Homo-oligomer: A and B are copies of this chain.
Amino acid sequence: MHFNKVTILGVGLIGASFALAMKKQGLCGVIIGHGRNPENLQRAQERGIIDSFDLDPARACIDSDLIVLATPVGSFFDITKKIRDSLKRNTIITDVGSVKGNLVHTMDFLMPEEIFFVGGHPIAGNDRSGIDRASAELFTGTKCILTPSEKTEKKAFDKIVSLWESFGSVILRLDPGEHDRIYAAVSHLPHLLAYMMVNTVADINAAYFGFSGTGFLDTTRIASSHSELWRDICILNKENVIASAEVFKQNLDRAVQYLRAVDSESLEREFRKARTLREGIGQN
Protein backbone atom coordinates (compact mmCIF):
# COMPACT_ATOMS: atom_id res chain seq x y z
CA MET A 1 0.00 0.00 0.00
CA HIS A 2 1.43 3.36 -1.05
CA PHE A 3 -0.13 6.76 -1.75
CA ASN A 4 1.87 9.03 -4.08
CA LYS A 5 0.18 12.19 -2.94
CA VAL A 6 -1.70 12.71 0.34
CA THR A 7 -3.65 15.83 1.30
CA ILE A 8 -4.29 16.68 4.94
CA LEU A 9 -7.19 19.13 5.27
CA GLY A 10 -6.72 20.66 8.73
CA VAL A 11 -3.20 20.38 10.11
CA GLY A 12 -3.90 20.26 13.84
CA LEU A 13 -2.94 17.61 16.41
CA ILE A 14 -4.69 14.72 14.62
CA GLY A 15 -3.96 15.81 11.04
CA ALA A 16 -0.27 16.43 11.81
CA SER A 17 0.08 13.15 13.75
CA PHE A 18 -1.54 11.32 10.81
CA ALA A 19 1.03 12.90 8.45
CA LEU A 20 3.93 11.98 10.74
CA ALA A 21 2.68 8.39 11.07
CA MET A 22 2.30 8.08 7.26
CA LYS A 23 5.88 9.29 6.79
CA LYS A 24 7.23 7.05 9.53
CA GLN A 25 5.59 4.01 7.96
CA GLY A 26 6.81 5.04 4.50
CA LEU A 27 3.28 4.96 3.12
CA CYS A 28 3.38 8.10 0.98
CA GLY A 29 5.26 10.22 -1.52
CA VAL A 30 4.41 13.84 -0.72
CA ILE A 31 2.01 15.32 1.82
CA ILE A 32 0.19 18.59 1.07
CA GLY A 33 -1.40 20.48 3.92
CA HIS A 34 -4.36 22.85 3.87
CA GLY A 35 -5.80 24.97 6.63
CA ARG A 36 -7.01 28.45 7.55
CA ASN A 37 -3.87 29.60 9.33
CA PRO A 38 -0.82 30.17 7.06
CA GLU A 39 1.59 30.57 10.03
CA ASN A 40 0.55 27.16 11.33
CA LEU A 41 1.00 25.56 7.88
CA GLN A 42 4.39 27.25 7.53
CA ARG A 43 5.52 25.82 10.89
CA ALA A 44 4.20 22.37 9.91
CA GLN A 45 6.23 22.54 6.71
CA GLU A 46 9.37 23.70 8.54
CA ARG A 47 9.07 20.77 10.92
CA GLY A 48 8.71 18.28 8.08
CA ILE A 49 5.14 17.34 9.00
CA ILE A 50 3.94 18.36 5.53
CA ASP A 51 5.99 18.88 2.37
CA SER A 52 4.04 21.88 1.13
CA PHE A 53 0.74 23.60 1.66
CA ASP A 54 -2.02 25.39 -0.23
CA LEU A 55 -4.55 27.81 1.24
CA ASP A 56 -7.04 26.77 -1.46
CA PRO A 57 -8.52 23.38 -0.49
CA ALA A 58 -9.44 22.44 -4.08
CA ARG A 59 -5.91 23.08 -5.32
CA ALA A 60 -4.45 21.17 -2.34
CA CYS A 61 -6.43 18.10 -3.47
CA ILE A 62 -5.48 18.02 -7.15
CA ASP A 63 -3.96 14.62 -8.05
CA SER A 64 -4.22 13.38 -4.46
CA ASP A 65 -4.59 9.64 -3.86
CA LEU A 66 -5.69 10.05 -0.27
CA ILE A 67 -7.47 13.01 1.31
CA VAL A 68 -7.84 13.23 5.09
CA LEU A 69 -10.53 15.50 6.52
CA ALA A 70 -9.10 16.66 9.85
CA THR A 71 -10.84 20.02 10.21
CA PRO A 72 -13.61 20.54 12.82
CA VAL A 73 -16.52 18.26 11.73
CA GLY A 74 -18.80 21.26 11.21
CA SER A 75 -16.77 22.23 8.13
CA PHE A 76 -16.85 18.82 6.35
CA PHE A 77 -19.76 19.53 3.99
CA ASP A 78 -18.50 22.97 2.95
CA ILE A 79 -15.00 21.74 2.30
CA THR A 80 -16.23 18.67 0.42
CA LYS A 81 -18.32 20.87 -1.87
CA LYS A 82 -15.23 23.00 -2.54
CA ILE A 83 -12.94 20.09 -3.43
CA ARG A 84 -15.28 17.61 -5.16
CA ASP A 85 -14.72 18.88 -8.68
CA SER A 86 -10.91 18.79 -8.35
CA LEU A 87 -10.53 15.12 -7.43
CA LYS A 88 -9.04 12.47 -9.64
CA ARG A 89 -10.73 9.08 -10.10
CA ASN A 90 -10.19 6.42 -7.42
CA THR A 91 -9.19 8.95 -4.78
CA ILE A 92 -10.03 7.85 -1.23
CA ILE A 93 -11.40 10.46 1.18
CA THR A 94 -11.37 9.56 4.85
CA ASP A 95 -11.93 11.60 7.99
CA VAL A 96 -11.00 11.65 11.67
CA GLY A 97 -14.17 13.29 12.98
CA SER A 98 -15.88 12.42 16.26
CA VAL A 99 -19.34 12.30 14.65
CA LYS A 100 -20.51 9.75 12.10
CA GLY A 101 -24.21 8.82 11.67
CA ASN A 102 -25.95 11.12 9.18
CA LEU A 103 -22.65 12.81 8.44
CA VAL A 104 -21.41 9.59 6.79
CA HIS A 105 -24.59 9.32 4.70
CA THR A 106 -24.31 12.96 3.61
CA MET A 107 -20.65 12.47 2.73
CA ASP A 108 -21.59 9.37 0.67
CA PHE A 109 -24.19 11.50 -1.10
CA LEU A 110 -21.68 14.31 -1.79
CA MET A 111 -19.08 11.99 -3.33
CA PRO A 112 -18.67 12.21 -7.12
CA GLU A 113 -18.53 8.95 -9.15
CA GLU A 114 -15.47 6.81 -8.47
CA ILE A 115 -14.42 8.81 -5.41
CA PHE A 116 -14.56 6.66 -2.28
CA PHE A 117 -15.42 7.89 1.23
CA VAL A 118 -14.49 5.89 4.35
CA GLY A 119 -15.56 7.25 7.74
CA GLY A 120 -13.01 7.02 10.55
CA HIS A 121 -12.64 8.17 14.16
CA PRO A 122 -9.36 7.61 16.03
CA ILE A 123 -9.90 7.68 19.81
CA ALA A 124 -6.84 9.80 20.53
CA GLY A 125 -5.90 13.37 21.27
CA ASN A 126 -8.12 14.08 24.23
CA ASP A 127 -7.85 17.66 25.51
CA ARG A 128 -4.71 18.49 23.55
CA SER A 129 -4.58 20.36 20.27
CA GLY A 130 -2.09 21.84 17.80
CA ILE A 131 0.94 20.57 15.96
CA ASP A 132 3.28 21.07 18.91
CA ARG A 133 1.79 17.97 20.52
CA ALA A 134 1.67 15.96 17.28
CA SER A 135 3.49 12.62 17.17
CA ALA A 136 3.86 9.68 14.79
CA GLU A 137 2.98 7.47 17.79
CA LEU A 138 -0.23 9.27 18.81
CA PHE A 139 -2.39 6.41 17.51
CA THR A 140 -0.26 3.51 18.72
CA GLY A 141 -2.30 1.23 20.96
CA THR A 142 -5.44 3.37 20.70
CA LYS A 143 -8.79 2.43 19.21
CA CYS A 144 -9.73 3.58 15.74
CA ILE A 145 -13.41 3.28 14.85
CA LEU A 146 -14.26 2.79 11.18
CA THR A 147 -17.88 3.18 10.10
CA PRO A 148 -18.55 1.68 6.67
CA SER A 149 -21.99 2.25 5.16
CA GLU A 150 -23.74 0.27 2.41
CA LYS A 151 -22.08 2.65 -0.08
CA THR A 152 -18.51 2.16 1.17
CA GLU A 153 -16.28 0.51 -1.43
CA LYS A 154 -14.63 -2.62 -0.08
CA LYS A 155 -11.13 -2.04 -1.53
CA ALA A 156 -11.00 1.54 -0.23
CA PHE A 157 -12.21 0.36 3.18
CA ASP A 158 -9.56 -2.37 3.35
CA LYS A 159 -6.83 0.16 2.52
CA ILE A 160 -7.96 2.46 5.35
CA VAL A 161 -8.02 -0.53 7.73
CA SER A 162 -4.42 -1.43 6.73
CA LEU A 163 -3.33 2.16 7.10
CA TRP A 164 -4.59 2.51 10.70
CA GLU A 165 -3.28 -0.94 11.56
CA SER A 166 0.16 0.14 10.35
CA PHE A 167 -0.09 3.08 12.82
CA GLY A 168 -0.61 0.52 15.62
CA SER A 169 -4.30 1.26 16.14
CA VAL A 170 -6.86 -1.32 17.17
CA ILE A 171 -9.66 -1.23 14.56
CA LEU A 172 -13.28 -1.41 15.68
CA ARG A 173 -15.98 -1.46 13.01
CA LEU A 174 -19.31 0.16 13.82
CA ASP A 175 -22.50 1.16 12.06
CA PRO A 176 -22.41 5.00 11.72
CA GLY A 177 -25.62 5.47 13.76
CA GLU A 178 -24.45 3.13 16.52
CA HIS A 179 -21.13 5.03 16.63
CA ASP A 180 -23.00 8.23 17.43
CA ARG A 181 -25.17 6.67 20.15
CA ILE A 182 -22.04 5.22 21.80
CA TYR A 183 -19.92 8.37 21.59
CA ALA A 184 -22.74 10.64 22.74
CA ALA A 185 -22.66 8.61 25.98
CA VAL A 186 -18.93 8.02 26.51
CA SER A 187 -17.46 11.19 25.01
CA HIS A 188 -19.77 13.98 23.86
CA LEU A 189 -21.88 14.15 27.05
CA PRO A 190 -18.76 13.92 29.30
CA HIS A 191 -17.28 16.89 27.41
CA LEU A 192 -20.49 18.88 27.84
CA LEU A 193 -20.56 18.05 31.58
CA ALA A 194 -16.89 19.00 32.04
CA TYR A 195 -17.45 22.39 30.38
CA MET A 196 -20.57 22.98 32.50
CA MET A 197 -18.81 21.86 35.70
CA VAL A 198 -16.14 24.53 35.17
CA ASN A 199 -18.78 27.19 34.45
CA THR A 200 -20.69 26.09 37.57
CA VAL A 201 -17.72 26.85 39.83
CA ALA A 202 -17.26 30.20 38.05
CA ASP A 203 -20.96 31.01 38.69
CA ILE A 204 -20.64 30.10 42.38
CA ASN A 205 -17.29 31.84 43.00
CA ALA A 206 -14.32 31.87 40.63
CA ALA A 207 -11.94 32.19 43.61
CA TYR A 208 -12.86 28.59 44.51
CA PHE A 209 -10.78 27.25 41.58
CA GLY A 210 -7.69 27.93 43.72
CA PHE A 211 -8.76 25.26 46.21
CA SER A 212 -9.21 22.44 43.71
CA GLY A 213 -7.34 19.14 43.97
CA THR A 214 -6.51 16.40 41.49
CA GLY A 215 -10.11 15.12 41.48
CA PHE A 216 -11.41 18.40 40.04
CA LEU A 217 -8.51 18.61 37.61
CA ASP A 218 -9.10 15.07 36.31
CA THR A 219 -12.85 15.58 36.03
CA THR A 220 -12.55 18.83 34.09
CA ARG A 221 -9.39 18.13 32.05
CA ILE A 222 -11.42 17.78 28.83
CA ALA A 223 -12.91 21.25 29.41
CA SER A 224 -9.57 22.43 27.91
CA SER A 225 -10.66 20.89 24.61
CA HIS A 226 -11.07 22.98 21.46
CA SER A 227 -14.38 24.83 21.90
CA GLU A 228 -15.26 25.25 18.21
CA LEU A 229 -14.60 21.56 17.50
CA TRP A 230 -16.74 20.39 20.41
CA ARG A 231 -19.53 22.82 19.57
CA ASP A 232 -19.67 21.19 16.10
CA ILE A 233 -19.58 17.66 17.52
CA CYS A 234 -22.37 18.31 20.05
CA ILE A 235 -24.57 20.03 17.48
CA LEU A 236 -24.07 17.39 14.76
CA ASN A 237 -24.91 14.66 17.26
CA LYS A 238 -27.46 16.67 19.20
CA GLU A 239 -30.29 14.10 19.29
CA ASN A 240 -28.07 11.51 20.96
CA VAL A 241 -26.33 14.05 23.20
CA ILE A 242 -29.69 15.42 24.39
CA ALA A 243 -31.01 11.88 24.99
CA SER A 244 -27.88 10.99 27.00
CA ALA A 245 -28.15 14.26 28.95
CA GLU A 246 -31.74 13.34 29.86
CA VAL A 247 -30.62 10.00 31.32
CA PHE A 248 -27.86 11.83 33.19
CA LYS A 249 -30.31 14.36 34.61
CA GLN A 250 -32.55 11.53 35.86
CA ASN A 251 -29.56 10.05 37.65
CA LEU A 252 -28.54 13.41 39.12
CA ASP A 253 -32.09 14.24 40.22
CA ARG A 254 -32.39 10.85 41.93
CA ALA A 255 -29.09 11.39 43.79
CA VAL A 256 -30.22 14.87 44.90
CA GLN A 257 -33.52 13.37 46.13
CA TYR A 258 -31.59 10.82 48.19
CA LEU A 259 -29.48 13.65 49.63
CA ARG A 260 -32.54 15.72 50.54
CA ALA A 261 -34.15 12.68 52.20
CA VAL A 262 -30.83 11.72 53.88
CA ASP A 263 -31.37 8.27 52.32
CA SER A 264 -27.81 7.04 52.99
CA GLU A 265 -28.53 3.50 51.89
CA SER A 266 -29.84 4.40 48.43
CA LEU A 267 -27.10 6.99 47.88
CA GLU A 268 -24.38 4.51 48.80
CA ARG A 269 -25.98 1.88 46.54
CA GLU A 270 -25.71 4.31 43.57
CA PHE A 271 -22.12 5.23 44.43
CA ARG A 272 -21.14 1.57 44.92
CA LYS A 273 -22.70 0.60 41.59
CA ALA A 274 -20.73 3.34 39.81
CA ARG A 275 -17.51 2.45 41.64
CA THR A 276 -17.75 -1.23 40.67
CA LEU A 277 -18.48 -0.36 37.03
CA ARG A 278 -15.67 2.21 36.88
CA GLU A 279 -13.13 -0.16 38.43
CA GLY A 280 -14.14 -2.70 35.78
CA ILE A 281 -12.91 -0.40 32.98
CA GLY A 282 -9.43 0.17 34.42
CA GLN A 283 -7.51 3.34 35.25
CA ASN A 284 -6.10 4.41 31.91
A interface residue numbers (CB < 8 A to B)? 74, 123-124, 126-127, 142-143, 145, 172, 181-183, 185-187, 189-206, 208-209, 211-228, 230-232, 234-235, 238, 241-242, 244-245, 247-252, 255-256, 259-260, 262, 264, 267-268, 270-275, 277-284
Contacts and interface: CB of A to CB of B under 8 A. Distances in A.
B278 A200 contact: no
Nearest to A207: B182
Nearest to A211: B182
B259 A242 contact: yes
Contacts of A231: 264, 267-268, 271
B230 A271 contact: yes
A284 B217 contact: yes
Count of this chain's copies in the oligomeric assembly: 2
B195 A271 contact: yes
Contact of A280 (B209, B238, B247, B251): B209
A255 B196 contact: yes
5 contacts: A185-B200, A187-B213, A209-B281, A224-B275, A231-B271
A200 to B, nearest CB: 4
A187 to B, nearest CB: 6
A142 B215 CA distance: 13
Nearest to A246: B256
8 nearest A-B residue pairs (beta carbon): A227-B271, A195-B274, A123-B213, A198-B274, A223-B278, A196-B251, A231-B268, A227-B272
B216 A187 contact: yes
A199 B242 contact: no
Contacts of A247: 200, 203-204
Contact of A267 (B200, B220, B234, B273): B234
Contact of A213 (B124, B193, B199): B124
Given A190-B216, A221-B283, A238-B262, 7 more contacts: A143-B213, A195-B275, A214-B284, A219-B222, A223-B277, A224-B283, A241-B259
B215 A127 contact: yes
A96 B231 CA distance: 41
A182 B208 contact: yes
B235 A267 contact: yes
A252 B244 contact: no
Given A251-B199, A278-B223, A216 B267 contact: no
Contact of A245 (B213, B227, B252, B284): B252
